[in-house]
Structure 1
Amino acid sequence: MFTDASEFSGPAALQLQGVSKSYRSGNTTVPALREVSLAIPAGTFTAVMGPSGSGKSTLLQCAAGLDAPDSGTVLLGDTEISHLHRKALTRFRRDHVGFVFQSYNLLPQLTVARNVTLPLLLAGRATDTVWLDYVLEAVGLAGLGERKPQELSGGQQQRAAIARALITRPDAVFADEPTGALDSVTARQVLDLLRHTVSALGQTVIMVTHDPVAAGSADTVLFLADGRLDGSMTGATALDVSERMATLGEH
């Protein structure tokens, strides 16, 4: 993580500049993000860590265009998305953003292949069958495209969800607790897969997690405390992350 895109060579996949976001709770305004600025290089795997209420989910939502900041700007690729009108933002997310959630959100009546290519169908785009076959093979689902989700294991369903996130060749894939519903062995396989999408496909992955083991799979870990960035670690192990979390917010 760099605070300024000029600090590294090559394109930035994501830039936040002075992003703040608050929510109303009764008569009280609760700040979720406080003037967050960061830039994430393309083709990297970044984890976002912090205690409950630190702003992790809000950061992901603003970065991915699911919510608009109160102030500041968000650039995804070359597009400033924080002030796009709703229809334009919906189109942009559909074409340029991949999402992986804790719940797989697969449609049971559709085959794996149909689930994976659903974003293309919704966009009115033809399916590149060569790319589809490549993505299914890359996520370990070669030969399973005609199965229904209920015929797959939980780990395989998450692999299908990751394939769906990759099918549009997005600027970035945002993963929100992608291993939260998986056992430890399957979770490791999914983390290895996300790592593989970065190293083999050149994808940019930004993952929100509460799990130090998951965060230890990333190139860089960003730490949030009380809505502010509280440092980062590169090449961190799960133990490094755990120790840093224990002192988060201390000054």
Structure 2
Amino acid sequence: MVSDTTAPSDTTAYPAAPALQLHRVSKSYRSGTTVVPALRDVTLTVPPATFTAVMGPSGSGKSTLLQCAAGLDAPDSGQVLLGNTEISRLRSKALTRFRRDHVGFVFQSYNLLPQLSVARNVTLPLLLAGRAPDPAWLGYVLEAVGLGGLGERKPQELSGGQQQRAAIARALITRPEAVFADEPTGALDSATARQVLDLLRHTVSELGQTVVMVTHDPVAACAADNIIFLADGHLDGSMANASVRDVTERVAYLGER
């Protein structure tokens, strides 16, 4: 259960402008002599302090969408804005700095360094940027994700769910424009997955964070405020406040209308 905490008074206010905007984004990859389109003219807007899930069959473009939105890959055409920054125009070094300071990532694999404590793993993005961690904010984030008092433990001393909580804390530590989660519950049992989804929901409702999550799981998707569907690189509709049954039926017919 997520602990009830109060944020330090110096937490950053989130802007009223969209947290994420994609405008006519297209991306293709080469496979030998063949060009394979992954995204086709995708336009979407994600409001701040919301939880958005992205769903679609294998090859639909959902991972490419996440990578372009987070600045991990560059679109062939179109614009990507995170907050007020058009990241699709940034050069490599500037984009690396921007991702480090303004983007949070959570993956299916926790990517925690076993030789470092939980606290050091969580603050690693700040340390790599040469910034000193704020002890009050670190303590608040650890409490918020349910790891209060566990900061000195090593990752191997935590359960899988606790390790994913540490990964989420690491994504939050820089107060990012958005947190991008790629199948964050894929390696977890159903009960632990539910706890992680509740935690992501908590970061939205209590911390004002924006979360964009790629998932193949209708149960996980239903934790989000809005679900965006992709098929063959195109947007194929969306659902808000959907049931698992609604999502399952919608996924079954993606691309058929």
Q: What TM-score, normalized to structure 1?
A: 0.96
User: Equivalent of 1:166, from 159, 164, 172?
Assistant: 172
Residue identity opposite 1:30 in structure 2: V
Shift in Å at residue 75 of structure 1? 0.2
2:115 maps to amino acid: Q
Alignment correspondent of 2:80: 74
Indicate the residue corresponding to 1:95 in structure 2. Answer: 101
How far is 1:237 from its partner?
1.6
Whole-angstrom CA distance in 1 between matches of 2:39 and 2:153: 42
d(CA) in 1 for partners of 2:244 and 2:146? Answer: 26
What 5-or-longer segments of structure 2 have no aligned partner? 1-14
* Residue 149 (str. 1) matches residue 155 (str. 2): yes
Question: Aligned equivalents of 2:206 and 2:112: distance in 1?
Answer: 25
Out of 235, 241, 246, which is 1:235 matched to? 241
Helix, strand or coil for the counterpart of 2:142? helix
Task: Return the offset for 1:119.
Answer: 0.3
- Which residue in 2 is equivalent to 1:48? 54
For residue 63 of structure 1, the aligned residue among 66, 69, 85 is 69
Residue identity opposite 1:85 in structure 2: R
Cα displacement (A) at 1:247? 1.2
Q: Is the 8 A contact 1:12 1:40 kept in 2?
A: yes
What corresponds to 1:214 in structure 2? 220
Instruction: List structure 1 runs of 4+ shifted beyond 6 angstroms.
Output: none
Q: Kindly report which structure 2 residues correspond to 1:121-200, keeping only aligned pairs within 5 A, or say none.
A: 121-200=127-206
List alignment gaps of at least 5 residues for structure 1.
1-8
> Could you give the per-residue CA deviations for residues 140-193 of structure 1, whole angstroms, max 9, x where no partner exists?
000000000000000000000000000000000000000000000000000000
Provide the residue aligned with 2:3 in structure 1. Answer: none
What is aligned with 1:3? Answer: none
Superposition deviation, residue 126 in structure 1: 1.1
Q: 2:110 aligns with which of 85, 91, 104?
A: 104
Q: Report the Cα distance in structure 2 between the residues aligned to 1:39 and 1:95, rounded to whole angstroms.
A: 22
Cα deviation, residue 240, structure 1: 1.3
Kept after mapping to 2: 8 A contact 1:68/1:83: no
Instruction: Supply the RMSD in Å over aligned alpha carbons.
Output: 0.8
Once the two structures are aligned, what percentage of the paired residues are identical?
82
Q: Alignment partner of 2:116: what SS?
A: coil
Task: State TM-score, norm by structure 2.
Answer: 0.94
Shift of 1:239: 1.4
1: CA distance between counterparts of 2:127 and 2:210?
23
What amino acid is the match of 1:90? T
Cα displacement (A) at 1:10: 3.3
Q: Secondary structure at the residue paired with 1:231?
A: strand
